[in-house]
Structure 1
Amino acid sequence: MPFRRSHQKSHHGCSACKQRKIKCSEERPECSTCLKRKLRCSFLDDHVPTASHSYDLVHRPESYTQQSSVNSDPLPLLELELLHHWHTSAAYAVSQDEQVNRVMRDVIPREGLSHPFLMHGLLAISALHLIQLRNDKDSLVYAKACIRYKQQALSLYTPHLNNITRSNCNALFAFSCLLSILCSASETLDITRTAKGIEDIVGIFRLTRGVAVIVAQARQWIESSEVAILMRPGHFEGQRVNSHSNGAPSDVESHLRHLLDLCNETCKGSISMETYTSSIHYLIDSYMAHFIAADNTIGLAWPVLVDSRYIDFLLPKDQLSLVILAHYGAVMTLLDDTWWLDRWGRLLIKLA
């Protein structure tokens, strides 16, 4: 009785040979049997290699993780939406200065490609802007994404403050400027849905003061870069700005100067007097500078300029420090027409 010639089983044969239950030569891209019979040859384990990424973005909301097929990666639809929104809308809503807006739209995303913390910060602000524009079911998706982007950005940003170099200083400075916007908008839009306290404000103030550290170490590099426009005279180096302007409402300035007089009377001879008076002086300067430069971002410089001891006074709820904070909040209410400052001033007044 003739015996069937044995052969090694094919485990990686083409689809056509497996369907016909015959041995496949497993040659790629076409096996010899299909080539001889002029059949279409395909292998089930063929796949398109995926491109490697320079860095990983945060986990996406579930609604954005739909896969088109088993052999393809999901498109980062949320990131694409937020980046598109940044280029078409959010970048123009940061400042009234066209040069600042150009840097926001063109320079910051480009820097973000090399510095993930900046890209995460950009996406977080874009998500916040969408929350402010929309009041629908998608707001929760954007809020969750913003929290993730913000946390990831801060975890990547903070270690770099101990190693500021020529290659990362521009991105660090740009992010530190965005951080004030990100923190104030996050609180006023209440994306965490948690009660706010004075310790939250102190945390924000301390966080935003990182910009002074960056400028102190990399001022020359930043001034010769494309992000130099974000550096206003005197804002991040502890210098006073010219506080004379014909465009500012005189009643607000008079209230601030009355506060200064009150401080001089109640703190005379106190070791904390200089801390309080300089804080009020900087508040007057920041308020007046807003009208000189017609830029809403200037008001956020005050927490960076004040003596760090003033911020320390806030935690034990020192009475005069809270009065000064309430006046800062009153100044910020004048900027409620700016989306990322809307209700920020009122929140400060409430907590003070």
Structure 2
Amino acid sequence: MASSSNTSNASNVHTNTRTGQRRPHTKSSTGCTQCKDRRVKCDEVRPSCTRCSRRNAPCSYLSEVSNNTANNSPIASSVQSSPITSEFDDENTRALELKLMHQYLTSTSIVLAQDSTDITFHSHVTFKHALSNPFLLDAILATAAIHLSTVEPDKTQFWIRTALQYHNRAITGLNDALKDPSSSDSDALSLSSMCMVTNCLSLSGKRLGGEEVDAVTELIGTRKLLGGVILCLNQTIIGAGGLRNGTFEIWRDQQLSNSLNPNDTVSKNFLTHLDSTNPVPGHLGVYFSQFSNFAEYQVKNDEFYHTTLRRIKEMSTYVESLTSEYKEDYQNSCTLLLAAMDIFKSNRGIIIAWPTLINEFMVTLLQTGDNIASLIFIHYGVALYLSTLHCFSKGAGKHLVETLSMALEVKCPEWIEVLNWARASVLRDM
């Protein structure tokens, strides 16, 4: 529901001033975003309130309504419980959305990519589909807002709140599209579901109302979402054999071929040149090579990777020594996590997907507070943080480690050394 305007009446203002009467103060929950950030009263004049007009500052209004959308799809069931959905005042969001689009195309698409092909995929294919599918556009605007929350620290809360608004609006749109997928753009559904994963990982623990969010509940929701992504992608590229046959790259390249102008080779050649002239491919080469301490970053990143790998191997050895009715489940989970770490440098996404690869019973054990399951998921949390360390979606790994380690510290004080290592690991920021 659009927020109502309480336009000031000039004559009343002058009358109150002359008689010395104080105007009644009514706290409003529908003031502009900028006044809310500054914790000052907003008179809600449209299109720009008085305070913003005097400061020559942008003025935008975000209103909140409850999200009652329900859907039985894997994607919808994992995200429909999000606390709010939003409606934006179109007159006041054009500048905001232009900024978010610019951020996504010039920076976020680079940070999310693994190589130059990925950069082109995010900036061309995803954006092209977004222009004709509002739910995908809302999803990538949320991603851009999340990114801005990390590069504009003085406006972090504003950008997080903006991201949550767009994220929830994307959820509503995606749920509506999934009700009749045969009439929807299947490629846009797949692209949107992938954006949702990034957004859910990044917004872990974030809620507008400030209420506490359970890390395990979020993990279960993300696991369902990942399952929905895999299902959606398999259906999208089923003609090529599905994801299980490793054909995501084929689908991606087909999408690129359909989206790019064959006469425009400048962008492609430039990105390929960057790949060939930097010590690491893709976004890392593009983004980090400009810094004088790039070599130091590489050393620290490699050290973090090898330390995490060693710790997971030590945990796996410990699990092998156990006598437990769940030992096989523990071992299989450790084996899959080690396998994901082995190919981590060429495929970071496998770490993110690990919860979908393990036995569902392991998630049940985690929910019941099983100590060994919690220990395994703590190591996964560190690996997840490592896999997203270079970008902005570090929230989920950090939230999971901090939550589980605090509970285990009480129950298993003999594990304090490894718990302290895990907590210190998710505080890194290189």
Describe the shift of the 1:228–1:254 C-alpha distance in structure 2 as closer, same or farther (beyond 3 A). Answer: farther
- Partner of 1:187: helix, strand, or coil? coil
Describe the shift of the 1:251–1:187 C-alpha distance in structure 2 as closer, same or farther (beyond 3 A). Answer: closer
Other-structure match for 1:284:
338
Describe the shift of the 1:308–1:153 C-alpha distance in structure 2 as closer, same or farther (beyond 3 A). Answer: farther
Q: 2:311 aligns with which of 255, 258, 274?
A: 255
Q: Residues 116-155 of structure 1: matches in 2 within 5 Å? A: 116-136=134-154, 138-155=155-172
Deviations 1:280-317 (A, max 9, x none): 222112222112x1x54442121232233322332222
Q: Which amino acid aligns with 1:66?
A: P
Q: Distance in 1 between matches of 2:158 and 2:208?
A: 11
Q: Residues 148-297 of structure 1: matches in 2 within 5 Å? A: 148-158=165-175, 160-161=177-178, 164-165=181-182, 168-187=185-204, 193-197=210-214, 198-221=216-239, 223=247, 225-226=251-252, 252-266=308-322, 268=324, 270=325, 272-291=326-345, 293=346, 295-297=347-349
What TM-score do the two structures reach when normalised by structure 2?
0.54
- 2:226·2:353 contact (CA, 8 Å) conserved in 1? no
Q: Which amino acid aligns with 2:309?
A: E
Describe the shift of the 1:288–1:166 C-alpha distance in structure 2 as closer, same or farther (beyond 3 A). Answer: farther
State the 1:144 CA deviation.
2.2
Q: Residues 78-89 of structure 1: matches in 2 within 5 Å? A: 78-89=96-107
State the 1:149 CA deviation.
1.0
- 2:205·2:212 contact (CA, 8 Å) conserved in 1? no
State the 1:167 CA deviation.
5.4
- 1:185·1:340 contact (CA, 8 Å) conserved in 2? yes
- Partner of 1:320: helix, strand, or coil? helix
- 1:128·1:143 contact (CA, 8 Å) conserved in 2? yes
Other-structure match for 1:66:
47
Other-structure match for 1:329:
381
- 1:264·1:277 contact (CA, 8 Å) conserved in 2? yes
Other-structure match for 1:42:
none
Other-structure match for 2:392:
340
Describe the shift of the 1:288–1:106 C-alpha distance in structure 2 as closer, same or farther (beyond 3 A). Answer: same
- Partner of 2:383: helix, strand, or coil? helix
- For the pair 1:316 / 2:368, whether they are aligned, the reply is yes
- 1:164·1:217 contact (CA, 8 Å) conserved in 2? no
- Partner of 1:209: helix, strand, or coil? helix
Q: Which amino acid aligns with 2:217?
A: E
What TM-score do the two structures reach when normalised by structure 1?
0.65
Describe the shift of the 1:252–1:227 C-alpha distance in structure 2 as closer, same or farther (beyond 3 A). Answer: same
State the 1:122 CA deviation.
0.2
Describe the shift of the 1:144–1:276 C-alpha distance in structure 2 as closer, same or farther (beyond 3 A). Answer: same
Q: Distance in 2 between matches of 1:144 and 1:346?
A: 20
- 1:117·1:152 contact (CA, 8 Å) conserved in 2? yes
- 1:296·1:338 contact (CA, 8 Å) conserved in 2? no
- Partner of 1:74: helix, strand, or coil? helix
- 1:118·1:171 contact (CA, 8 Å) conserved in 2? yes
Q: Distance in 2 between matches of 1:335 and 1:97?
A: 15
Q: More helix per residue: 1 or 2?
A: 2
Q: Distance in 1 between matches of 2:129 and 2:322?
A: 49
Q: Distance in 1 between matches of 2:253 and 2:208?
A: 29
Q: Distance in 1 between matches of 2:356 and 2:31?
A: 34
RMSD: 3.5
Task: Structure 2: give runs of 5+ residues left out of the alignment.
Answer: 1-29, 35-43, 49-89, 241-246, 257-301, 405-430
- 1:116·1:156 contact (CA, 8 Å) conserved in 2? yes
State the 1:216 CA deviation.
3.8
- 1:128·1:185 contact (CA, 8 Å) conserved in 2? yes
Q: Distance in 2 between matches of 1:190 and 1:92?
A: 27
Structure 1 or 2, whichever has the larger Rg, is 1
Describe the shift of the 1:286–1:177 C-alpha distance in structure 2 as closer, same or farther (beyond 3 A). Answer: farther
Q: 1:304 aligns with which of 356, 380, 392?
A: 356
Aligned residue pairs total 269
Describe the shift of the 1:190–1:151 C-alpha distance in structure 2 as closer, same or farther (beyond 3 A). Answer: closer
Deviations 1:229-252 (A, max 9, x none): 99xxxxxxxxxxxxxxxx896554
Q: Distance in 2 between matches of 1:191 and 1:92?
A: 28
- 1:118·1:174 contact (CA, 8 Å) conserved in 2? yes
Q: 111-120 or 180-189: which moved more?
A: 180-189
Task: Structure 1: give runs of 5+ residues left out of the alignment.
Answer: 1-58, 68-72, 231-246
Q: Which amino acid aligns with 2:252?
A: E
State the 1:82 CA deviation.
0.8
Deviations 1:163-197 (A, max 9, x none): 55495332222222222211121127776644332
Describe the shift of the 1:102–1:256 C-alpha distance in structure 2 as closer, same or farther (beyond 3 A). Answer: same
Q: 1:101 aligns with which of 109, 112, 119?
A: 119
Describe the shift of the 1:344–1:62 C-alpha distance in structure 2 as closer, same or farther (beyond 3 A). Answer: closer
Q: Distance in 2 between matches of 1:228 and 1:191?
A: 39
